[in-house]
Amino acid sequence: MKINTIIFDLDGTLLNTLDDLTAAVNHALGAFGLGALDVNRVRRYVGNGVPKLMERALYYIDTGVEPDLDGGAYADKAKLDACLAVFTEYYDKHNADLTAPYAGVAQMLDAVKAKGLKSAIVTNKYDGAAQALKAVFFKSVDAVVGARDGVRPKPSPDGVYKALEILGADKTRAVYVGDGETDVATAKNAGMPVVAVTWGFRDRDVLQKLSPDFMIDAPSELLPALAAAGFIDL
């Protein structure tokens, strides 16, 4: 069956947000006299939303031990909430300072639109920031669903289903595109094929172990890969 909809992850897939996320994490930590994290550590901690990012950062700062990325909540909720408030205030003002689309992404999205395909962004980034970044960088994308009340974060398929509802689309005619473990799990939970991209926040060997349906190394490869699978006509 041909597809008519593509759902994209945001951070690490369409946008390189890592430097701005790192700056916001370190601003929040610094506001409480805590040490800073390097960009490669922040890269490992992203993917499950800002609250999880700050939990992992605080756990490492407090213990000097790498957090279990699948583990439970950070114990000091008051400290976490305070850091999240500072992070959000800063990130709302600085989320596009160093952020930019990956090379070739704009052309990929233009090609998706030219094909008449519907598109949406589904992200664990809180909805206000997700909407703001879409407005700056991705006006051609039809919808964005960020972290919001009533939508469980990825890898729950809630955000994907909400996006499909907004677009009037069906999951049987959609594919999901993302760059990490959470994205592959989200697509599988939604019952959709998944395209893993290697230019984002996870290395190729990590992605290969997740057994995505497709892997691509450049945005220009997306539509040819879907065409080769019979999902679209070029």
Q: Is 81 a catalytic residue?
A: no
What phi and psi, each to the nearest 5 degrees, are found at residue 191?
Answer: 75, 40
How many residues are listed for the chain in this entry? 234
Cβ neighbours around 162 below 10 Å, total:
17
Helix, strand, coil: what percent of the chain each, to 5?
50, 15, 35
Cβ neighbours around 75 below 10 Å, total:
11
Q: Strand locations in the chain, DSSP E?
A: 5-8, 15-16, 100-101, 118-126, 143-147, 174-178, 194-197, 214-216
Which of 9, 11, 142, 183 is flagged as catalytic?
9
Cβ–Cβ under 8 Å, residues 213 and 233: no
What span, in angstroms and rounded, lies between the C-alpha atoms of 200 and 231? 24
Residues in Cβ contact with 28 at an 8 Å cutoff, skipping those fewer than 6 apart: 54, 83, 84, 86, 87, 90
User: So which residues are the catalytic ones?
Assistant: 9
